[in-house]
A and B are shown apart, each in its own frame.
Chain A
Amino acid sequence: MEQVHANELQELQRLVAYQRDEVAYRQLFKACYPMAMRFCKRFLHANELAEEAVSDVMMKLWLMETKLAEVRNLKVYVMQAVKNKAMDYLDSHRHQTLNEEYPEYLPAGTLTPEEAMISSEAVHAINQAIDTLPTKCRAVFLLVRESKCTYREAAEIMGISENTVNRHIQKAVNILAQKLGF
Chain B
Amino acid sequence: MEEKDKRFFVLLNRAMEGVISDDDATTLRTLADSDERYAALYEACLGTATAYEDDLDETFDAHWKKIQTQQSAHPVEAGTPKIRPLFPKWARYAAAVIVLMIGTWYTYQYVGDHGEKQYVTQPGERMLVELPDGTSVRLNGGSTLVLQPGFGRKERKVTFNGEGFFDVKKDEKRTFSIDLGETTVNVLGTTFNLRAYENEDRIETALISGKVELTFAGKPNQDVIMTPGRKVSIYKQAPEQPVSPVAEVAADEPTGERIVWDDIKVTPGQVEANEILWTENKLVFDGDDLDRVAAKLQQWYGVEVVVGIHNAQDNLKLSGIFEDMPLDTVLQTIQRTGSMRYERDGDKVVLRPQNP
Contact = CB atoms under 8 A, between A and B. Distances in A.
B43 A21 contact: no
Contacts of A60: 90
Contacts of B13: 169-170, 173
B5 interface: yes
B322 interface: no
B43 A118 contact: yes
Interface string A1-29: 00000000000001100111111101001
A114 B48 contact: yes
B9 A34 contact: no
A33 B50 contact: no
Contacts of B130: 23
B40 A180 contact: yes
Contact of B50 (A14, A41, A181): A41
A173 B11 CA distance: 12
Given A21-B128, A176-B45, A107 B94 contact: no
B100 interface: yes
Nearest to A29: B60
B52 A122 contact: no
A58 B63 CA distance: 9
Nearest to B105: A22
B126 A21 contact: yes
A33 B40 contact: no
A156 interface: no
A63 B53 CA distance: 27
A125 B281 contact: no
Given A34-B56, A58-B63, A148 B41 contact: no
Nearest to A122: B40
Interface string A142-162: 001111101100000000000
A59 B67 CA distance: 8
Contacts of B53: 108-109
A148 B130 CA distance: 29
A contact patch SS: helix
A150 B59 CA distance: 27
Contacts of A146: 49-50
A182 B44 CA distance: 13
A27 to B, nearest CB: 9
B45 A118 contact: no
B125 A112 contact: no
What bracket does the count of chain B residues touching chain A fall in?
Answer: 35 or more
B79 interface: no
Contacts, number: 139
B44 A22 contact: no
B218 interface: no
Given A122-B43, A169-B13, A107 B48 contact: yes
A50 to B, nearest CB: 11
A173 B9 contact: yes
Nearest to A52: B66
Contact of B33 (A34, A58, A117): A117
Given A20-B101, A41-B50, A115 B127 contact: no
A166 interface: yes
B91 interface: yes
A46 interface: no
Contact of B126 (A19, A150, A169): A19
A49 to B, nearest CB: 15
Interface in B1-25: 5, 9, 12-13, 16-18
Nearest to A42: B50
A-B CB proximity, top 7 nearest? A109-B51, A126-B44, A108-B51, A180-B40, A34-B52, A19-B126, A30-B56
8 contacts: A18-B324, A19-B281, A22-B104, A38-B52, A55-B63, A59-B66, A107-B48, A114-B43
Interface of A: 14-15, 18-24, 26, 29-30, 33-34, 37-38, 41-42, 55, 58-60, 62-65, 107-110, 112, 114-115, 117-118, 122-123, 125-126, 129-130, 144-148, 150-151, 166, 169-170, 172-173, 176-177, 180-182
Given A63-B91, A108-B52, A126-B43, 9 more contacts: A22-B127, A23-B127, A23-B129, A62-B97, A118-B43, A125-B40, A145-B47, A151-B17, A176-B41
